[in-house]
Structure 1
Amino acid sequence: MSDILGPPISKDAVDARLDALAQRHRRAGNLGIQVLNVVGGRAEALLDRLPESMRDRLEGGTAQALEMAMGAAHRSRGVVGTQPGWLSRAVTTAMGAAGGFGGLPSAMAELPITTTILLRAIQDVAGEHGFDPAEEGVRYDCVQVFAAAGPLDHDDGADLAFLTTRVAVTGKAMQALISKVAPRLSVVLGQKLAAQTVPVLGAAAGAATNYAFTSYYQQMAHVHFGLRRLAIEADIPHAEVLKRFRQRVATAPVKRG
Protein backbone atom coordinates (compact mmCIF):
# COMPACT_ATOMS: atom_id res chain seq x y z
CA MET A 1 0.00 0.00 0.00
CA SER A 2 1.31 3.42 -0.93
CA ASP A 3 2.23 5.78 1.92
CA ILE A 4 2.07 8.82 -0.38
CA LEU A 5 -1.20 10.62 0.31
CA GLY A 6 -2.49 14.04 -0.59
CA PRO A 7 -4.23 16.44 1.79
CA PRO A 8 -7.21 15.05 3.76
CA ILE A 9 -10.39 14.95 1.71
CA SER A 10 -13.29 17.29 2.48
CA LYS A 11 -16.16 16.57 4.87
CA ASP A 12 -18.61 16.49 1.95
CA ALA A 13 -16.45 13.97 0.13
CA VAL A 14 -16.23 11.82 3.28
CA ASP A 15 -20.02 11.91 3.65
CA ALA A 16 -20.51 11.00 -0.01
CA ARG A 17 -18.19 8.00 0.25
CA LEU A 18 -19.84 6.82 3.46
CA ASP A 19 -23.23 7.07 1.75
CA ALA A 20 -21.94 5.07 -1.22
CA LEU A 21 -20.55 2.35 1.05
CA ALA A 22 -23.82 2.18 3.00
CA GLN A 23 -25.65 1.76 -0.31
CA ARG A 24 -23.27 -1.04 -1.30
CA HIS A 25 -23.97 -2.68 2.04
CA ARG A 26 -27.72 -2.49 1.41
CA ARG A 27 -27.33 -4.06 -2.02
CA ALA A 28 -25.41 -6.96 -0.46
CA GLY A 29 -28.35 -7.54 1.86
CA ASN A 30 -30.68 -8.21 -1.05
CA LEU A 31 -28.49 -10.81 -2.77
CA GLY A 32 -29.76 -13.76 -0.77
CA ILE A 33 -33.39 -13.08 -1.63
CA GLN A 34 -32.90 -14.50 -5.13
CA VAL A 35 -31.57 -17.75 -3.64
CA LEU A 36 -34.42 -18.11 -1.18
CA ASN A 37 -36.87 -17.45 -4.01
CA VAL A 38 -35.26 -20.23 -6.06
CA VAL A 39 -35.11 -22.82 -3.28
CA GLY A 40 -38.48 -21.86 -1.81
CA GLY A 41 -37.65 -21.78 1.86
CA ARG A 42 -36.29 -19.79 4.78
CA ALA A 43 -32.62 -19.45 5.66
CA GLU A 44 -33.26 -20.75 9.17
CA ALA A 45 -34.66 -24.03 7.84
CA LEU A 46 -31.96 -24.77 5.27
CA LEU A 47 -29.52 -26.44 7.66
CA ASP A 48 -32.20 -28.93 8.69
CA ARG A 49 -32.08 -30.31 5.14
CA LEU A 50 -28.51 -31.55 5.65
CA PRO A 51 -27.80 -34.97 7.15
CA GLU A 52 -26.90 -34.68 10.83
CA SER A 53 -23.52 -36.32 10.23
CA MET A 54 -22.64 -33.59 7.75
CA ARG A 55 -23.80 -30.79 10.04
CA ASP A 56 -21.52 -32.20 12.74
CA ARG A 57 -18.51 -32.06 10.39
CA LEU A 58 -19.13 -28.60 8.99
CA GLU A 59 -17.27 -26.47 11.54
CA GLY A 60 -14.07 -28.52 11.48
CA GLY A 61 -14.26 -28.84 7.72
CA THR A 62 -14.75 -25.10 7.36
CA ALA A 63 -11.70 -24.28 9.48
CA GLN A 64 -9.62 -26.70 7.42
CA ALA A 65 -10.99 -25.25 4.16
CA LEU A 66 -10.10 -21.73 5.32
CA GLU A 67 -6.52 -22.72 6.13
CA MET A 68 -6.14 -24.45 2.76
CA ALA A 69 -7.79 -21.51 0.98
CA MET A 70 -5.36 -19.04 2.53
CA GLY A 71 -2.37 -20.84 1.09
CA ALA A 72 -3.96 -21.58 -2.27
CA ALA A 73 -5.36 -18.08 -2.79
CA HIS A 74 -2.03 -16.51 -1.86
CA ARG A 75 -0.04 -18.78 -4.17
CA SER A 76 -2.42 -18.15 -7.05
CA ARG A 77 -1.56 -14.45 -7.00
CA GLY A 78 1.94 -15.34 -8.13
CA VAL A 79 0.52 -17.18 -11.14
CA VAL A 80 -2.57 -15.15 -12.03
CA GLY A 81 -2.76 -11.45 -11.24
CA THR A 82 -5.77 -9.52 -9.98
CA GLN A 83 -8.95 -10.68 -11.69
CA PRO A 84 -12.06 -8.62 -12.44
CA GLY A 85 -14.94 -9.23 -10.03
CA TRP A 86 -17.23 -10.59 -12.75
CA LEU A 87 -14.77 -13.39 -13.52
CA SER A 88 -14.83 -14.68 -9.94
CA ARG A 89 -18.61 -14.62 -9.99
CA ALA A 90 -18.69 -16.46 -13.32
CA VAL A 91 -16.30 -19.19 -12.12
CA THR A 92 -18.11 -19.84 -8.85
CA THR A 93 -21.51 -19.76 -10.60
CA ALA A 94 -20.37 -22.46 -13.03
CA MET A 95 -18.92 -24.50 -10.15
CA GLY A 96 -22.14 -24.14 -8.18
CA ALA A 97 -24.13 -25.44 -11.13
CA ALA A 98 -21.83 -28.46 -11.46
CA GLY A 99 -21.88 -29.09 -7.72
CA GLY A 100 -25.66 -28.82 -7.51
CA PHE A 101 -26.16 -31.08 -10.51
CA GLY A 102 -24.33 -33.91 -8.80
CA GLY A 103 -26.17 -33.59 -5.50
CA LEU A 104 -24.73 -33.40 -2.00
CA PRO A 105 -21.48 -35.36 -2.59
CA SER A 106 -20.38 -33.14 -5.49
CA ALA A 107 -21.53 -29.98 -3.68
CA MET A 108 -19.43 -30.98 -0.66
CA ALA A 109 -16.41 -31.69 -2.84
CA GLU A 110 -16.79 -28.28 -4.50
CA LEU A 111 -16.89 -26.42 -1.16
CA PRO A 112 -13.11 -26.03 -0.49
CA ILE A 113 -12.52 -24.84 -4.06
CA THR A 114 -15.29 -22.26 -3.81
CA THR A 115 -13.90 -21.08 -0.46
CA THR A 116 -10.51 -20.52 -2.11
CA ILE A 117 -12.05 -18.54 -4.98
CA LEU A 118 -14.10 -16.47 -2.54
CA LEU A 119 -10.99 -15.62 -0.53
CA ARG A 120 -9.10 -14.78 -3.71
CA ALA A 121 -11.98 -12.49 -4.77
CA ILE A 122 -11.75 -10.72 -1.39
CA GLN A 123 -7.99 -10.32 -1.84
CA ASP A 124 -8.57 -8.77 -5.27
CA VAL A 125 -10.93 -6.23 -3.73
CA ALA A 126 -8.29 -5.37 -1.14
CA GLY A 127 -5.88 -4.72 -4.00
CA GLU A 128 -8.43 -2.46 -5.71
CA HIS A 129 -8.42 -0.28 -2.60
CA GLY A 130 -4.64 -0.02 -2.55
CA PHE A 131 -3.84 -2.67 0.05
CA ASP A 132 -1.24 -5.36 -0.58
CA PRO A 133 -2.80 -8.83 -0.14
CA ALA A 134 0.67 -10.22 0.58
CA GLU A 135 0.92 -8.21 3.81
CA GLU A 136 0.05 -10.20 6.91
CA GLY A 137 -2.33 -7.55 8.22
CA VAL A 138 -4.22 -7.42 4.92
CA ARG A 139 -4.44 -11.22 4.75
CA TYR A 140 -5.91 -11.08 8.26
CA ASP A 141 -8.47 -8.51 7.10
CA CYS A 142 -9.41 -10.69 4.13
CA VAL A 143 -10.27 -13.61 6.41
CA GLN A 144 -12.10 -11.19 8.72
CA VAL A 145 -14.55 -10.43 5.90
CA PHE A 146 -15.79 -14.02 6.25
CA ALA A 147 -17.15 -13.01 9.69
CA ALA A 148 -20.00 -11.24 7.87
CA ALA A 149 -23.36 -12.91 8.42
CA GLY A 150 -23.77 -14.28 4.89
CA PRO A 151 -26.28 -13.45 2.15
CA LEU A 152 -29.05 -15.69 3.47
CA ASP A 153 -28.99 -14.26 6.98
CA HIS A 154 -28.49 -10.56 6.37
CA ASP A 155 -29.28 -8.61 9.55
CA ASP A 156 -28.73 -4.92 10.23
CA GLY A 157 -26.53 -5.63 13.25
CA ALA A 158 -25.16 -9.14 12.85
CA ASP A 159 -23.68 -8.60 9.43
CA LEU A 160 -21.59 -5.69 10.72
CA ALA A 161 -19.71 -7.91 13.15
CA PHE A 162 -16.82 -8.22 10.69
CA LEU A 163 -16.18 -4.47 10.85
CA THR A 164 -13.74 -3.99 13.70
CA THR A 165 -11.00 -1.56 14.62
CA ARG A 166 -7.59 -2.51 13.37
CA VAL A 167 -5.51 -4.82 15.54
CA ALA A 168 -1.85 -5.74 15.49
CA VAL A 169 -1.36 -9.06 13.74
CA THR A 170 1.33 -11.04 15.51
CA GLY A 171 2.14 -14.63 16.29
CA LYS A 172 -0.93 -16.84 16.45
CA ALA A 173 -3.43 -14.11 15.60
CA MET A 174 -4.36 -15.62 12.26
CA GLN A 175 -5.02 -19.05 13.73
CA ALA A 176 -7.13 -17.46 16.45
CA LEU A 177 -9.10 -15.55 13.81
CA ILE A 178 -9.78 -18.72 11.81
CA SER A 179 -11.04 -20.41 15.00
CA LYS A 180 -13.33 -17.42 15.59
CA VAL A 181 -14.60 -17.13 12.02
CA ALA A 182 -15.07 -20.85 11.31
CA PRO A 183 -18.22 -21.39 13.42
CA ARG A 184 -20.08 -18.53 11.74
CA LEU A 185 -18.82 -19.40 8.27
CA SER A 186 -19.74 -23.06 8.76
CA VAL A 187 -23.37 -22.04 9.22
CA VAL A 188 -23.21 -19.90 6.09
CA LEU A 189 -21.60 -22.65 4.04
CA GLY A 190 -24.06 -25.18 5.43
CA GLN A 191 -26.90 -23.01 4.12
CA LYS A 192 -25.12 -22.88 0.78
CA LEU A 193 -24.80 -26.66 0.63
CA ALA A 194 -28.45 -27.15 1.50
CA ALA A 195 -29.60 -24.62 -1.10
CA GLN A 196 -27.46 -26.27 -3.77
CA THR A 197 -28.96 -29.67 -3.19
CA VAL A 198 -32.66 -28.79 -3.41
CA PRO A 199 -34.35 -31.71 -5.22
CA VAL A 200 -35.09 -31.13 -8.92
CA LEU A 201 -33.59 -27.63 -8.99
CA GLY A 202 -30.04 -28.86 -8.44
CA ALA A 203 -27.81 -27.02 -10.90
CA ALA A 204 -29.99 -23.87 -11.00
CA ALA A 205 -29.98 -23.59 -7.23
CA GLY A 206 -26.23 -24.21 -7.15
CA ALA A 207 -25.55 -21.52 -9.73
CA ALA A 208 -27.80 -18.95 -8.03
CA THR A 209 -26.31 -19.74 -4.63
CA ASN A 210 -22.69 -19.38 -5.69
CA TYR A 211 -23.40 -16.19 -7.62
CA ALA A 212 -25.12 -14.66 -4.59
CA PHE A 213 -22.38 -15.77 -2.18
CA THR A 214 -19.53 -14.49 -4.33
CA SER A 215 -21.27 -11.16 -4.95
CA TYR A 216 -22.07 -10.82 -1.25
CA TYR A 217 -18.50 -11.29 -0.04
CA GLN A 218 -17.17 -9.02 -2.77
CA GLN A 219 -19.57 -6.30 -1.64
CA MET A 220 -18.63 -6.80 2.00
CA ALA A 221 -14.95 -6.66 1.08
CA HIS A 222 -15.55 -3.35 -0.69
CA VAL A 223 -17.25 -2.05 2.47
CA HIS A 224 -14.45 -3.31 4.71
CA PHE A 225 -11.51 -2.03 2.70
CA GLY A 226 -13.36 1.07 1.50
CA LEU A 227 -13.81 2.17 5.11
CA ARG A 228 -10.16 1.48 5.89
CA ARG A 229 -9.05 3.47 2.85
CA LEU A 230 -11.40 6.34 3.74
CA ALA A 231 -9.99 6.55 7.26
CA ILE A 232 -6.49 6.86 5.82
CA GLU A 233 -7.30 9.42 3.13
CA ALA A 234 -9.56 11.54 5.36
CA ASP A 235 -7.12 11.32 8.28
CA ILE A 236 -9.95 10.22 10.58
CA PRO A 237 -9.60 7.51 13.25
CA HIS A 238 -10.88 4.23 11.87
CA ALA A 239 -13.17 3.80 14.89
CA GLU A 240 -14.84 7.12 14.08
CA VAL A 241 -15.35 6.12 10.45
CA LEU A 242 -16.94 2.84 11.58
CA LYS A 243 -19.23 4.72 13.98
CA ARG A 244 -20.46 7.06 11.26
CA PHE A 245 -20.96 4.16 8.85
CA ARG A 246 -22.97 2.16 11.39
CA GLN A 247 -25.19 5.19 12.00
CA ARG A 248 -26.00 5.31 8.29
CA VAL A 249 -26.85 1.62 8.19
CA ALA A 250 -29.04 1.96 11.30
CA THR A 251 -31.05 4.85 9.85
CA ALA A 252 -31.61 3.07 6.51
CA PRO A 253 -32.33 -0.58 7.37
CA VAL A 254 -32.14 -3.28 4.74
CA LYS A 255 -35.47 -4.14 3.16
CA ARG A 256 -36.05 -7.85 3.05
CA GLY A 257 -38.35 -9.47 0.52
Structure 2
Amino acid sequence: MSLPTVSVDAEIAALAKRYKAANSVGMQVLNLIGGQAENLLERLPDRVKDQLEGATARALEVAMRAAQGSRGVVPDQKGWLNTALATAMGAAGGAGGLPSALAELPVTTTVLLRSIQGIAAEHGYDPEDPEIAKECLTVFASAGPLAQDDGADLGFLSARVTLTGATVHGVINRIAPRLATVMGQKLATQTVPLLGAAAGAATNYAYTSYYQQMAHVHFGLRTLARQSGRPRGELVEALRVAVTRPKVKIG
Protein backbone atom coordinates (compact mmCIF):
# COMPACT_ATOMS: atom_id res chain seq x y z
CA MET A 1 0.00 0.00 0.00
CA SER A 2 1.40 3.38 -0.99
CA LEU A 3 1.75 6.32 1.36
CA PRO A 4 -0.88 9.09 1.23
CA THR A 5 0.14 12.44 -0.24
CA VAL A 6 0.15 14.11 3.18
CA SER A 7 2.67 11.55 4.50
CA VAL A 8 4.89 11.99 1.43
CA ASP A 9 4.85 15.77 1.83
CA ALA A 10 5.77 15.43 5.51
CA GLU A 11 8.67 13.12 4.67
CA ILE A 12 9.91 15.50 1.98
CA ALA A 13 9.77 18.38 4.46
CA ALA A 14 11.78 16.34 6.98
CA LEU A 15 14.40 15.45 4.36
CA ALA A 16 14.62 19.10 3.28
CA LYS A 17 15.27 20.05 6.90
CA ARG A 18 18.14 17.54 7.04
CA TYR A 19 19.57 18.86 3.79
CA LYS A 20 19.55 22.45 5.03
CA ALA A 21 21.10 21.41 8.35
CA ALA A 22 23.86 19.60 6.47
CA ASN A 23 24.83 22.71 4.53
CA SER A 24 24.62 25.19 7.41
CA VAL A 25 27.27 23.49 9.55
CA GLY A 26 30.04 24.26 7.06
CA MET A 27 29.57 27.97 7.58
CA GLN A 28 30.96 27.58 11.09
CA VAL A 29 34.25 26.46 9.56
CA LEU A 30 34.40 29.39 7.15
CA ASN A 31 33.75 31.76 10.03
CA LEU A 32 36.56 30.13 12.01
CA ILE A 33 39.19 30.43 9.30
CA GLY A 34 37.94 33.71 7.90
CA GLY A 35 37.93 32.63 4.26
CA GLN A 36 35.65 31.81 1.36
CA ALA A 37 35.35 28.22 0.17
CA GLU A 38 36.28 29.04 -3.43
CA ASN A 39 39.57 30.58 -2.29
CA LEU A 40 40.69 27.76 -0.02
CA LEU A 41 42.29 25.65 -2.74
CA GLU A 42 44.66 28.51 -3.60
CA ARG A 43 46.33 27.97 -0.24
CA LEU A 44 47.56 24.54 -1.26
CA PRO A 45 50.94 24.04 -2.98
CA ASP A 46 50.66 23.33 -6.71
CA ARG A 47 52.22 19.88 -6.29
CA VAL A 48 49.44 18.94 -3.84
CA LYS A 49 46.68 20.32 -6.08
CA ASP A 50 48.07 18.37 -9.04
CA GLN A 51 48.04 15.09 -7.09
CA LEU A 52 44.81 15.62 -5.18
CA GLU A 53 42.49 13.73 -7.51
CA GLY A 54 44.70 10.64 -7.50
CA ALA A 55 45.13 10.82 -3.73
CA THR A 56 41.37 11.09 -3.29
CA ALA A 57 40.69 8.10 -5.52
CA ARG A 58 43.24 6.04 -3.57
CA ALA A 59 41.70 7.19 -0.29
CA LEU A 60 38.28 6.04 -1.51
CA GLU A 61 39.66 2.64 -2.58
CA VAL A 62 41.31 2.17 0.82
CA ALA A 63 38.21 3.43 2.62
CA MET A 64 35.90 1.03 0.77
CA ARG A 65 38.05 -1.99 1.62
CA ALA A 66 38.59 -0.93 5.23
CA ALA A 67 35.00 0.10 5.87
CA GLN A 68 33.50 -3.09 4.46
CA GLY A 69 36.15 -5.26 6.13
CA SER A 70 35.43 -3.73 9.52
CA ARG A 71 31.69 -4.33 9.44
CA GLY A 72 31.98 -7.89 10.75
CA VAL A 73 34.36 -6.81 13.53
CA VAL A 74 33.23 -3.38 14.71
CA PRO A 75 29.48 -2.65 14.99
CA ASP A 76 27.96 0.49 13.51
CA GLN A 77 28.32 3.44 15.86
CA LYS A 78 25.96 6.25 16.78
CA GLY A 79 26.28 9.35 14.63
CA TRP A 80 27.63 11.47 17.49
CA LEU A 81 30.42 8.94 18.11
CA ASN A 82 31.47 8.95 14.45
CA THR A 83 31.51 12.74 14.59
CA ALA A 84 33.56 12.79 17.79
CA LEU A 85 36.10 10.35 16.36
CA ALA A 86 36.49 12.27 13.12
CA THR A 87 36.76 15.56 15.01
CA ALA A 88 39.61 14.20 17.12
CA MET A 89 41.40 12.93 14.01
CA GLY A 90 40.95 16.30 12.34
CA ALA A 91 42.58 18.03 15.29
CA ALA A 92 45.52 15.62 15.16
CA GLY A 93 45.83 16.01 11.39
CA GLY A 94 45.69 19.78 11.55
CA ALA A 95 48.24 20.02 14.37
CA GLY A 96 51.05 18.84 12.07
CA GLY A 97 50.16 20.99 9.10
CA LEU A 98 49.83 19.69 5.55
CA PRO A 99 51.93 16.47 5.91
CA SER A 100 49.83 15.14 8.79
CA ALA A 101 46.63 16.37 7.16
CA LEU A 102 47.46 14.36 4.02
CA ALA A 103 48.22 11.29 6.13
CA GLU A 104 44.90 11.68 7.93
CA LEU A 105 42.87 11.94 4.69
CA PRO A 106 42.32 8.20 4.01
CA VAL A 107 41.55 7.53 7.69
CA THR A 108 38.90 10.22 7.82
CA THR A 109 37.48 9.03 4.49
CA THR A 110 37.15 5.54 5.96
CA VAL A 111 35.27 6.85 9.00
CA LEU A 112 32.98 8.90 6.76
CA LEU A 113 32.25 5.96 4.46
CA ARG A 114 31.68 3.61 7.37
CA SER A 115 29.19 6.06 8.91
CA ILE A 116 27.38 6.30 5.56
CA GLN A 117 27.20 2.50 5.40
CA GLY A 118 25.80 2.46 8.93
CA ILE A 119 23.04 4.87 7.91
CA ALA A 120 22.24 2.71 4.88
CA ALA A 121 21.84 -0.24 7.28
CA GLU A 122 19.72 1.91 9.59
CA HIS A 123 17.34 2.46 6.67
CA GLY A 124 17.12 -1.27 6.08
CA TYR A 125 19.69 -1.72 3.29
CA ASP A 126 22.63 -4.11 3.15
CA PRO A 127 25.92 -2.22 2.67
CA GLU A 128 27.47 -5.45 1.35
CA ASP A 129 25.07 -5.40 -1.60
CA PRO A 130 27.08 -4.08 -4.60
CA GLU A 131 24.30 -1.67 -5.59
CA ILE A 132 24.04 -0.26 -2.06
CA ALA A 133 27.85 -0.04 -1.87
CA LYS A 134 27.76 2.15 -4.97
CA GLU A 135 24.96 4.27 -3.53
CA CYS A 136 27.01 4.78 -0.36
CA LEU A 137 29.82 6.15 -2.55
CA THR A 138 27.47 8.45 -4.44
CA VAL A 139 26.76 10.34 -1.21
CA PHE A 140 30.30 11.71 -1.67
CA ALA A 141 29.14 13.23 -4.97
CA SER A 142 27.17 15.90 -3.10
CA ALA A 143 28.49 19.43 -2.94
CA GLY A 144 30.37 19.26 0.35
CA PRO A 145 29.85 21.17 3.59
CA LEU A 146 31.74 24.28 2.45
CA ALA A 147 29.62 24.77 -0.67
CA GLN A 148 27.11 27.61 -0.52
CA ASP A 149 24.66 26.05 -2.96
CA ASP A 150 21.44 26.13 -0.87
CA GLY A 151 19.94 23.28 -2.84
CA ALA A 152 21.40 24.13 -6.24
CA ASP A 153 23.17 20.75 -6.34
CA LEU A 154 20.87 17.82 -5.64
CA GLY A 155 22.14 15.88 -8.64
CA PHE A 156 23.82 13.24 -6.49
CA LEU A 157 20.38 12.01 -5.45
CA SER A 158 19.69 10.99 -9.04
CA ALA A 159 23.20 9.64 -9.68
CA ARG A 160 22.12 6.01 -9.20
CA VAL A 161 20.35 6.19 -12.57
CA THR A 162 23.67 6.77 -14.35
CA LEU A 163 25.58 4.18 -12.32
CA THR A 164 23.66 1.14 -13.55
CA GLY A 165 26.16 -1.52 -14.56
CA ALA A 166 29.15 0.41 -13.25
CA THR A 167 31.65 -1.31 -10.97
CA VAL A 168 32.55 0.12 -7.57
CA HIS A 169 35.94 1.07 -9.03
CA GLY A 170 34.18 2.85 -11.88
CA VAL A 171 32.01 4.78 -9.44
CA ILE A 172 35.10 5.83 -7.49
CA ASN A 173 36.72 7.16 -10.67
CA ARG A 174 33.61 9.21 -11.44
CA ILE A 175 33.31 10.62 -7.94
CA ALA A 176 37.02 11.30 -7.29
CA PRO A 177 37.28 14.59 -9.26
CA ARG A 178 34.35 16.11 -7.35
CA LEU A 179 35.47 14.81 -3.98
CA ALA A 180 39.04 15.97 -4.66
CA THR A 181 37.81 19.57 -4.66
CA VAL A 182 35.90 19.00 -1.44
CA MET A 183 38.85 17.32 0.27
CA GLY A 184 41.21 19.99 -1.05
CA GLN A 185 39.14 22.58 0.81
CA LYS A 186 39.42 20.44 3.94
CA LEU A 187 43.20 20.16 3.63
CA ALA A 188 43.49 23.90 3.05
CA THR A 189 41.63 24.70 6.27
CA GLN A 190 44.05 22.50 8.20
CA THR A 191 47.03 24.51 6.99
CA VAL A 192 45.76 27.86 8.33
CA PRO A 193 48.58 29.32 10.48
CA LEU A 194 47.93 29.10 14.24
CA LEU A 195 44.57 27.44 13.63
CA GLY A 196 45.68 24.06 12.29
CA ALA A 197 44.35 21.83 15.08
CA ALA A 198 41.22 23.90 15.69
CA ALA A 199 40.46 24.19 11.97
CA GLY A 200 41.12 20.48 11.48
CA ALA A 201 38.72 19.59 14.28
CA ALA A 202 36.04 22.00 13.04
CA THR A 203 36.40 20.81 9.45
CA ASN A 204 36.08 17.14 10.33
CA TYR A 205 33.11 17.93 12.56
CA ALA A 206 31.46 19.72 9.64
CA TYR A 207 32.30 16.99 7.13
CA THR A 208 31.09 14.13 9.31
CA SER A 209 27.88 15.94 10.25
CA TYR A 210 27.32 16.86 6.61
CA TYR A 211 27.80 13.43 5.05
CA GLN A 212 25.74 11.69 7.73
CA GLN A 213 22.85 14.06 7.08
CA MET A 214 23.25 13.61 3.32
CA ALA A 215 23.22 9.83 3.75
CA HIS A 216 19.91 10.12 5.62
CA VAL A 217 18.57 12.26 2.76
CA HIS A 218 19.83 9.82 0.13
CA PHE A 219 18.52 6.61 1.67
CA GLY A 220 15.43 8.26 3.11
CA LEU A 221 14.48 9.33 -0.40
CA ARG A 222 15.11 5.82 -1.72
CA THR A 223 12.84 4.36 0.96
CA LEU A 224 10.17 6.98 0.31
CA ALA A 225 10.15 6.12 -3.40
CA ARG A 226 9.64 2.45 -2.56
CA GLN A 227 6.93 3.05 0.03
CA SER A 228 4.98 5.68 -1.90
CA GLY A 229 5.28 4.09 -5.33
CA ARG A 230 6.19 7.49 -6.78
CA PRO A 231 9.12 7.88 -9.21
CA ARG A 232 12.40 8.81 -7.57
CA GLY A 233 12.91 11.69 -9.99
CA GLU A 234 9.57 13.17 -8.97
CA LEU A 235 10.54 13.00 -5.30
CA VAL A 236 13.96 14.55 -5.98
CA GLU A 237 12.22 17.48 -7.69
CA ALA A 238 9.82 17.83 -4.74
CA LEU A 239 12.83 17.92 -2.43
CA ARG A 240 14.55 20.52 -4.60
CA VAL A 241 11.46 22.74 -4.39
CA ALA A 242 11.26 22.28 -0.62
CA VAL A 243 14.96 23.11 -0.14
CA THR A 244 14.97 26.21 -2.34
CA ARG A 245 11.61 27.59 -1.26
CA PRO A 246 12.14 31.08 0.21
CA LYS A 247 11.36 31.56 3.89
CA VAL A 248 8.18 33.52 4.53
CA LYS A 249 8.77 36.46 6.89
CA ILE A 250 6.02 37.18 9.36
CA GLY A 251 5.36 40.78 10.36
Give the whole-Å Cα distance in 2 for the aligned partners of 1:214 and 1:252: 27
Q: Does the 8 Å contact 1:88/1:117 carry over to 2? A: yes
* 2:15 aligned partner: 21
Whether 1:87 and 2:87 are equivalent positions in the alignment is no
TM-score by length of 1: 0.92
* 2:240 aligned partner: 246
Q: Quote how far apart the aligned CAs of 1:202 are.
A: 1.3
Q: Quote how far apart the aligned CAs of 1:13 are.
A: 0.9
Q: Quote how far apart the aligned CAs of 1:90 are.
A: 0.5
**1:9-62, CA deviations, whole angstroms, 9 ceiling, x for partnerless residues?**
221111101001001111111111100011111111111111110110100110
Q: Quote how far apart the aligned CAs of 1:243 are.
A: 1.9
* 1:159 aligned partner: 153
Secondary structure at the aligned position of 1:159 is classed as coil
Q: Quote how far apart the aligned CAs of 1:83 are.
A: 1.0
What is the aligned counterpart of 2:199 among 205, 214, 232? Answer: 205
List alignment gaps of at least 5 residues for structure 2.
Answer: none
Give the whole-Å Cα distance in 2 for the aligned partners of 1:42 and 1:78: 41
Q: Does the 8 Å contact 2:87/2:204 carry over to 1? A: yes
Give the whole-Å Cα distance in 1 for the aligned partners of 2:51 and 2:212: 27
**Residues 160-169 or 188-197, more deviating:** 160-169
* 1:148 aligned partner: 142
Q: Quote how far apart the aligned CAs of 1:157 are.
A: 4.8
- The Cα RMSD (Å) is 1.5
Give the whole-Å Cα distance in 2 for the aligned partners of 1:212 and 1:165: 23
**1:51-83, CA deviations, whole angstroms, 9 ceiling, x for partnerless residues?**
110110100110111111111100110101111
Secondary structure at the aligned position of 1:80 is classed as coil
Whether 1:124 and 2:118 are equivalent positions in the alignment is yes
What is the identity, as a one-letter code, of the residue corresponding to 2:61?
A: E
TM-score by length of 2: 0.94
**1:152-182, CA deviations, whole angstroms, 9 ceiling, x for partnerless residues?**
1131355312111644866643222211110
Whether 1:114 and 2:113 are equivalent positions in the alignment is no
- Structure 1 segment 169-180 matched on structure 2, within 5 A: 172-180=166-174
What is the aligned counterpart of 1:218 among 209, 212, 227? Answer: 212
What's the % identity of the aligned pairs? 59
List alignment gaps of at least 5 residues for structure 1.
Answer: 1-6
Segments of 4+ moved more than 4 angstroms: 168-172
Give the whole-Å Cα distance in 2 for the aligned partners of 1:9 and 1:246: 20
Could you say if the C-alpha distance between residues 62 and 103 of structure 1 is closer, same or farther in structure 2, counting changes exceeding 3 Å?
A: same
What is the identity, as a one-letter code, of the residue corresponding to 2:233?
A: A
Q: Does the 8 Å contact 1:137/1:168 carry over to 2? A: no
Whether 1:39 and 2:42 are equivalent positions in the alignment is no
- How many residue pairs get matched? 247
What is the identity, as a one-letter code, of the residue corresponding to 2:236?
A: L
Secondary structure at the aligned position of 2:156 is classed as coil
* 1:99 aligned partner: 93
What is the identity, as a one-letter code, of the residue corresponding to 2:141?
A: A
Could you say if the C-alpha distance between residues 75 and 217 of structure 1 is closer, same or farther in structure 2, counting changes exceeding 3 Å?
A: same
Q: Does the 8 Å contact 1:69/1:115 carry over to 2? A: yes
What is the identity, as a one-letter code, of the residue corresponding to 2:190?
A: Q
